[in-house]
Amino acid sequence: MLKQKALTRNLIATLCTTSNTLFVHNNKTVKKAAFVYTLNAQKVVRNLNAQQQAAFNNLPATYMQNAKQFVINKLAQSTLLKSK
């Protein structure tokens, strides 16, 4: 199952729960979660641990990217994109 959350105003994080993989991609190039691949993703994080999955769940929804006051969660970003 694919879940999308807003990472920044221009980046979307897509979590594939089947393969436990996180794809970070631009919201202008990929509109739907079904069209995210490793080739069009800016960063791919495989085998997420429990801390990274909890950080993903704390990210805001994608519709919040259009809000005037988009708040960036720096702790969640650094936890998600951290290498093992």
Number of compact structural domains in the chain: 1
Domain range for 31 is 2-80
* Cα–Cα distance for residue pair 57/39, rounded to 1 Å: 24
pLDDT in tens, 19-43: 999 999 998 888 788 888 888 999 9
Q: What mean pLDDT do residues 16-20 have?
A: 94
Place of tokens 């006051």: 69
What percent of the chain shows pLDDT beyond 90?
Answer: 48
- What's the confidence (pLDDT) of residue 84? 55
* Cα–Cα distance for residue pair 51/54, rounded to 1 Å: 5
Cα distances from 58 to residues 29, 38, 68, in angstroms, run: 24, 24, 20
pTM of this prediction? Answer: 0.83
Q: Higher-confidence residue: 42 or 74?
A: 42
